[in-house]
Structure 1
Amino acid sequence: MGIFSAIGAGLRRISFSARIDDEYFDELEEQLIMADVGVETSALIVERLREQAKRDRLSEAEQLRPVIQEVVRELLAAPGEGGAVPTENPRVLLMIGVNGVGKTTTIGKLAARYRAEGKSVLLAAADTFRAAAIEQLSIWGERTGAQVIAHSQGSDPAAVVHDALDAGLARGADVVICDTAGRLHNKKNLMDELAKIRRVIAKEIPDCVPEVLLVVDATTGQNALAQARQFKESAGVNGVVLTKLDGTAKGGVVIAIAHETGIPVRYVGVGEGAGDLYPFDPAEFAAALFGGEEQV
């Protein structure tokens, strides 16, 4: 089942061999919650399954398998807002997230994807707080053939983005990806910095709608959901990248984030290599979790 075959073990353990009754639905809801689907979303899924079972007079849980696949696909494919993907040239991506989630590595993987598509990519090393971040981004630039614009450690991040956009426009770059310092939504100075970067983008490319991608670590479960909620309010996030999805049995957080925040999941990371980042496919994800393969 493609890239999702090694994840979501907690969800794939859900049994479809029982008879349908109230106890079955209670157990199903508990399993969904334990797999980080979230209380609200788990309750909604189970309620829809109850309604379908009643309407179609279903008696065996196996009959619910295609139903739960469709319900989950709908929850993932129809986020409440932020569904439009900007298409300006250069396309500007602004990457944000807390420290340790794999943000800079994700940027490298995105650069590799775009370069493989034949696009010219420019990376802005606007995480100027950590010298290691600038170094790491430069290494990814060398690996992927992407150009890197960097200043010295401690420089103004907005100035780095300004120079990167200038360079991107002058060189006809297809994509400009901006790294930023790891931040918490409640750290005012960092949020002010992010607002300044967005003002620079608006001034340099007035018609540009940057794709603000929040990178979260799937292994943190409900904490990843909390981050998505908080950054949506404070940073105008319009897409999520889930990293380390291969390292957790609780892949249900993907469903919770899409449904409970309305932010679409854009990409998922399932490894450390340059090619281990994939566009998120709701139908494939739902089929992998509930498609009837051998239980793990």
Structure 2
Amino acid sequence: MFSFFRKKSPIATPGDATALPTVTPTAIPEPTQTAAEPPAPRQGWLDKLKAGLRKTASSIATVFTGTQIDDALYEELETALLMADTGVKATEHLLADLKRRVKDNKTTDPMAVKVLLAGAITDLLAPLQKSLLIGEHKPTVIMVAGVNGAGKTTSIGKLTRHLANGGATVLLAAADTFRAAAREQLAVWADRNTVEIITQAGGDPAAVSFDAVSAGKARGRDVVLVDTAGRLPTQLHLMEELKKIKRVVQKADPSGPHEVLLVIDGNTGQNALTQVKAFDDALGLTGLIITKLDGTAKGGVICAIARERPVPIYFIGVGEKLEDLETFDASEFAQALLN
């Protein structure tokens, strides 16, 4: 079974644990569970993540420049967290957890409170840290949704590279037949990654998805990635089209789709949580890819997601390059958020 997380272990499928190649360190880096230095490629990516969240980190850091731990500190921290798109429920949870930690540790130094806050955020986000497993089903059918502009098709291209680097064979389905040039954009990613693509000029999205899953089974591919049309959750007729794609995929493979991923733009604030709720209600999401954490993104919305709709986060992105998409690590993100 393929595990696209951070463990450098041999890739294996059921019944054949040694026949396939091992995962390269760049595709699945080591976990950064402690303060030990991570591998150089991931360290570079972490530096980009910290840079992307610098505004939020700076805002929160100013809270801890005082000389005492009092109600004023907690009030300022509450404001900073809300301004970082953390949301009311997650902010209340973090403040309550932080106060408990301060009391239990008998903390008197405001700067030490920042360290305790990092622990509280890590624990809140930990349930979202999950491996993307490939191999239990062949092919593993991954359906990818998201609103226009979230970086959905680009993320599919990056995810394809991750899967291919891990030894998995990938087939792409260009089921985004509504948007102009969507097929061409996905075809470019297919060419870059040297993988096959199933596409139809003006074809029905569900029909393209059915053909792709059928082709994936016939050709023995490990993964079929289905790129669906971008849409807003308020466009009910288009959301129904997504449900149709899922139903048709199940006709081609009754066990599929095995993963339903939503790509969300990290710059959209609390609207990202709204999207997660809407798409989860419609499709039953199994994971998230959060993009564009390299600009004005405040980052706190991930805490809101963890508190209100804890869908696992498989990957987060900080740029346009292939290597700018990485696996999500709760501790790393908490440290970057507080810098």
TM-score w.r.t. the length of structure 1 is 0.91
Rounded Cα–Cα distance in structure 1 between residues aligned with 2:165 and 2:171: 14
Greater relative contact order: 1 or 2 (C-alpha under 8 angstroms, separation 6 or more)? 1
2:94 counterpart residue number: 45
Gaps of 5+ in 2: 1-42
Q: Does 1:222 align with 2:270?
A: yes
SS in 2 for 1:226: helix
Structure 2 counterpart of 1:137, one-letter code: L
Deviation of 1:281 after TM superposition, in Å, equals 0.8
Task: Kindly provide the CA deviation profile for residues 229-275 of structure 1, in whole angstroms up to 9, marking residues without a partner as x.
Answer: 22121221121111111112501122222222111111111111122
Rounded Cα–Cα distance in structure 2 between residues aligned with 1:258 and 1:180: 25
1:126 counterpart residue number: 175
Residues 106 and 284 from structure 1, CA distance in 2 versus in 1: closer, same or farther, beyond 3 angstroms?
same
Structure 2 counterpart of 1:178, one-letter code: V
Task: Kindly provide the CA deviation profile for residues 142-188 of structure 1, in whole angstroms up to 9, marking residues without a partner as x.
Answer: 111111000112x2111101110111011111111001111222323
Rounded Cα–Cα distance in structure 1 between residues aligned with 2:267 and 2:335: 21
1:196 counterpart residue number: 244
Residues 91 and 40 from structure 1, CA distance in 2 versus in 1: closer, same or farther, beyond 3 angstroms?
same
Contact 1:76–1:264 at 8 Å: present in 2 too?
A: no
2:55 counterpart residue number: 10
Contact 1:10–1:251 at 8 Å: present in 2 too?
A: no
Farther-moved stretch of structure 1 (58-67 vs 241-250): 58-67
Deviation of 1:12 after TM superposition, in Å, equals 1.6
Identity %: 45
Matches within 5 A, 1:1-296: 2-3=45-46, 4-13=49-58, 14-15=60-61, 16-18=64-66, 19-79=68-128, 87-153=136-202, 155-290=203-338
Structure 2 counterpart of 1:41, one-letter code: A
Contact 1:83–1:263 at 8 Å: present in 2 too?
A: no
Rounded Cα–Cα distance in structure 2 between residues aligned with 1:274 and 1:175: 19
Contact 1:99–1:182 at 8 Å: present in 2 too?
A: yes
Residues 197 and 220 from structure 1, CA distance in 2 versus in 1: closer, same or farther, beyond 3 angstroms?
same
- Equivalenced residue count is 289
SS in 2 for 1:99: coil
Deviation of 1:132 after TM superposition, in Å, equals 0.5
TM-score w.r.t. the length of structure 2 is 0.80
Deviation of 1:217 after TM superposition, in Å, equals 0.7
Rounded Cα–Cα distance in structure 1 between residues aligned with 2:88 and 2:213: 43
Rounded Cα–Cα distance in structure 2 between residues aligned with 1:93 and 1:42: 33
Farther-moved stretch of structure 1 (24-33 vs 263-272): 263-272
Rounded Cα–Cα distance in structure 2 between residues aligned with 1:99 and 1:242: 14
Contact 2:260–2:284 at 8 Å: present in 1 too?
A: yes
Residues 26 and 83 from structure 1, CA distance in 2 versus in 1: closer, same or farther, beyond 3 angstroms?
farther
SS in 2 for 1:215: strand
Structure 2 counterpart of 1:146, one-letter code: V
Contact 2:187–2:197 at 8 Å: present in 1 too?
A: yes
Farther-moved stretch of structure 1 (92-101 vs 188-197): 188-197
Deviation of 1:227 after TM superposition, in Å, equals 1.1
Deviation of 1:106 after TM superposition, in Å, equals 0.8
Deviation of 1:79 after TM superposition, in Å, equals 4.6
Task: Kindly provide the CA deviation profile for residues 93-139 of structure 1, in whole angstroms up to 9, marking residues without a partner as x.
Answer: 11111111111111111111112222211000001112310110111
SS in 2 for 1:169: helix
Structure 2 counterpart of 1:144, one-letter code: N
Rounded Cα–Cα distance in structure 1 between residues aligned with 2:233 and 2:73: 40
Gaps of 5+ in 1: none
Residues 105 and 79 from structure 1, CA distance in 2 versus in 1: closer, same or farther, beyond 3 angstroms?
closer
Rounded Cα–Cα distance in structure 2 between residues aligned with 1:189 and 1:216: 20
